[in-house]
Amino acid sequence: MLPRHLRTVGGRCFTPSCNPRPLCMSGNFPWWSGPPRPWSSFFPAPTWHLQDNSRPHHYAAPHRPPLPGGPIFPWFPPPASWLHLSHFNMDAKGEEPFRKRKKEMGEGEEQQYKRKSWTKRPYPPASDLRVPPIHGTPEVVVPASPPTESRAAPAQRRWEDFSRHYPERSSKDKFDFTVMSYNILSQDLLEDNSGLYSHCRRPYLFWNYRLPNILRELQDMNADILCLQEVQEDHYEEQIKPRLEALGYACEYKSRTGTKPDGCAICFKSDKFKLKLVKPVEYFRRNIALLDRDNIGLVLMLQPETKQKDAPMICVANTHLLYNPRRGDIKLTQLAILLAEITRVAQVQDSRFYPIVLCGDFNSVPGSPLHRFIKEGTLHYEGMTIGKVSGQEKYTRGQRILSIPIWPQTLGINQQCVYEAPAKNQKQPGQSSAEETVMKTDGQDTESDKRVASSLRHHFSLSSVYSHYFPDSGMPEVTTCHSRCAVTVDYIFYSASDSNVFRQPGSDAPCDGLQLLGRLSLLTEQDLWSVNGLPNEINSSDHLSLLAKFRLNL
Ligand code: KL2
């Protein structure tokens, strides 16, 4: 966030009074309305390639948030991507920011901002909320009437249809479904980190204003599976879950450990899937100093409801990894725990797995070691500084390097992100003798043992739904945008065709994994600043939702 003295330049305030222009609101609702949803026909024809054209990550984006009224002073606030300064408090207990000052607020506003126990029901239940109409501003009472706004051409999110790349299949031979991943910005975190939202008009930050927007977006997206992060428990129980249940979803929730009031939810259309297994995943371990953070994950096994044929189960995992940009060691260990849990529930035999959809906010940027590890299945980390892992920070000099191995053996997870069998010396599926030796002779490794020991692996073959860069402009896609940064940290990974996915016995399906039929395009940082960043009048989180359509061949 900019220091206060820099925020007022040339007599104008950069942050709170910009003209917010909602995304994609030129008379139409940004997404689509009313079932059935004609996915491919409603949106303009796609201009996308199927390949995942990963490019090296770069940081600066050559544009800046708009100054209201045009620049009259030869100074501009730097773009958010230049301002990714870590909180000085991060290293100690990085997740816990300072409680933010609320003295600037009026009395009534402060009432709204106060965290309350959910048993006290400070907010109206879902049934009292008027979900706003598809067109126009949500019909909720906001504390101050916003000034008149000028609307510019809105940034567009388009549906990109890839289905033409796949042969048509009869309805009995396929199971198509949509998955959304969305960090909805818990009100508690918004208030704790209010400096990140100093560019926003205050009325848009009230939960009573944001909730109907979020519910409307969920409703209009109408995804078959929702993977939500930063879902505050009171809001979930009283408002979000009842609304989603009314829309035909069954909902599972895992709260963060400790005193953190938010968590992750996975909701699925109960007429499309049968719940086979729920696995809440806690990363906190009392006896392991490295794992003292309260992040969590949630894994479900879902059985597609198909009339004609038995479909294999689908493993859906959702997580929100640690934010602290400097603690890549913790992020990698949290990820390893999640991958180990997925292995446990999704493994069919040896290294064959049911199709996996892995969603979440990984607090790591594209091209970072953590991101590459998920996609490539291997990471050699010897000599890597802990701050480099997530790629959130440019300068990592002076930081300590990752220890080898990253996590202690007492965690019971090997370097292949698989839980070790309780019996000592028992080989894990796919574990080589060299790795086994390294685990046993820790401290006296040979050079080649050391190389194996300083490499992580996992057994899944995962692709990312998004490409992370726009092919024509080379501009980075952005999934989160606030005063301090505009980057991709949210992903939907999936077991792509040709991966090591379980094939139904006797199946003549041309491929074993999931086929990506389409996705809702993301935006650039520039697009988002043209609507005053996030959250804004219409988009009520500091993240964009991610939406993908998959096909499972039966
Ligand atoms: O970046 V996030 O926002 O993926 O949307 O994930 C974390 C951050 C979330 C959960 O911990 O809270 C936000 N500075 C900025 N943002 C922070 C900080 C911080 N010190 N701590 C938590 N968050």
- Quick one: 424 and 533 in the same domain? yes
Helix/strand/coil percent split, the chain, to 5: 25, 20, 55
Does the Cβ of 191 fall within 6 Å of ligand 1? no
Does the Cβ of 186 fall within 6 Å of ligand 1? no
- For residue 90, give the ligand 1 atom closest to its CA: 20
Atom 3 of ligand 1, residue of closest alpha carbon: 323
Does the Cβ of 365 fall within 6 Å of ligand 1? no
Residue 518 forms part of a structural domain: yes
Task: Give the chain's domain count.
Answer: 2
pLDDT at 156: 87
Cα 209–Cα 521–Cα 39 angle in degrees, nearest 5: 90
Atom 4 of ligand 1, residue of closest alpha carbon: 363
Name the residue of 86, 96, 192, 193 to mutate for ligand 1: max ligand atoms within 8 A of Cβ: 193
Which are the contacts of 11, defined by CB distance < 8 A and separation ≥ 6?
none
pLDDT at 73: 27
- Quick one: 456 and 509 in the same domain? yes
Q: Does residue 428 register a pLDDT over 80?
A: no
**Cα–Cα distance, 422 to 139 (Å, whole number):** 57
Atom 7 of ligand 1, residue of closest alpha carbon: 323
Does the Cβ of 194 fall within 6 Å of ligand 1? no
Residue 212 forms part of a structural domain: yes
- Quick one: 266 and 336 in the same domain? yes
Q: Provide the pLDDT confidence category of residue 371 given band limits of 50, 70 and 90.
A: very high
Place of tokens 């067109």: 135
**Model confidence over 281-322: pLDDT tens digits?**
999 999 999 999 999 999 999 999 998 778 899 999 999 999
Does the Cβ of 364 fall within 6 Å of ligand 1? no
Does the Cβ of 489 fall within 6 Å of ligand 1? yes
Does the Cβ of 97 fall within 6 Å of ligand 1? yes
Does the Cβ of 499 fall within 6 Å of ligand 1? no
Distance of CA 541 from the midpoint of ligand 1 (Å):
13
* DSSP letters spanning 254-323: EE-STT--EEEEEEEETTTEEEEEEEEEE---TT-GGG-S--EEEEEEEEE--SSSPPPPEEEEEEE---
**Model confidence over 239-266: pLDDT tens digits?**
999 999 999 999 999 999 999 999 999 9
- Quick one: 209 and 138 in the same domain? no
- For residue 196, give the ligand 1 atom closest to its CA: 15
pLDDT at 103: 36
Contact (CB, 8 A) for 370 and 335: yes
**Cα–Cα distance, 211 to 17 (Å, whole number):** 22
- What's the maximum distance between 2 C-alpha atoms anywhere in the chain? 73
- In sequence order, the β-bridge partners of residue 158 are none
Distance of CA 358 from the midpoint of ligand 1 (Å):
20
Name the residue of 185, 189, 296, 370 to mutate for ligand 1: max ligand atoms within 8 A of Cβ: 189
Residue 110 forms part of a structural domain: no
Q: For residue 240, what is the DSSP state? A: I
Atom 15 of ligand 1, residue of closest alpha carbon: 193
pLDDT at 300: 98
Contact (CB, 8 A) for 39 and 161: yes
Does the Cβ of 486 fall within 6 Å of ligand 1? no
Cα 348–Cα 352–Cα 355 angle in degrees, nearest 5: 85
Atom 10 of ligand 1, residue of closest alpha carbon: 323
Residue 246 tokens read as 């009314």
Q: Does residue 148 register a pLDDT over 90?
A: no
Residue 157 forms part of a structural domain: no
- For residue 489, give the ligand 1 atom closest to its CA: 4
Residue 241 forms part of a structural domain: yes
Distance of CA 189 from the midpoint of ligand 1 (Å):
7
- For residue 490, give the ligand 1 atom closest to its CA: 4
pLDDT at 72: 26
- Quick one: 131 and 196 in the same domain? no
Task: Determine the average pLDDT of the residues in 505-521.
Answer: 75
Does the Cβ of 491 fall within 6 Å of ligand 1? no
**Model confidence over 445-475: pLDDT tens digits?**
566 666 667 999 999 999 999 999 999 999 9
**What percentage of the chain reaches a pLDDT higher than 90?**
59
- Quick one: 189 and 222 in the same domain? yes
Does the Cβ of 179 fall within 6 Å of ligand 1? no
- Quick one: 281 and 381 in the same domain? yes
pLDDT at 352: 87
Backbone region of residue 248 per phi and psi (left: phi > 0; alpha: psi in -120 to 50; beta: other values):
left
- Quick one: 178 and 132 in the same domain? no
Residue 115 forms part of a structural domain: no
Arithmetic mean of pLDDT over the chain: 75
Q: What domain range includes position 44? A: 1-68+75-97+121-144
Residue 292 forms part of a structural domain: yes
Residue 458 tokens read as 């996992």
Distance of CA 95 from the midpoint of ligand 1 (Å):
7
Residue 238 forms part of a structural domain: yes
pLDDT at 21: 42
- Quick one: 54 and 180 in the same domain? no
Which domain-ending residue is among 112, 144, 176? 144
Q: For residue 374, what is the DSSP state? A: H
- Quick one: 190 and 129 in the same domain? no
**Model confidence over 165-204: pLDDT tens digits?**
999 889 889 999 999 999 999 999 999 999 999 999 999 9
Does the Cβ of 193 fall within 6 Å of ligand 1? yes
Does the Cβ of 414 fall within 6 Å of ligand 1? no
- Quick one: 320 and 375 in the same domain? yes
Distance of CA 231 from the midpoint of ligand 1 (Å):
14
Distance of CA 97 from the midpoint of ligand 1 (Å):
8
- For residue 94, give the ligand 1 atom closest to its CA: 20
pTM score over 0.85: no
- Quick one: 183 and 133 in the same domain? no
CATH of the domain at 176: 3.60.10.10
Atom 12 of ligand 1, residue of closest alpha carbon: 189
Which are the contacts of 34, defined by CB distance < 8 A and separation ≥ 6?
none
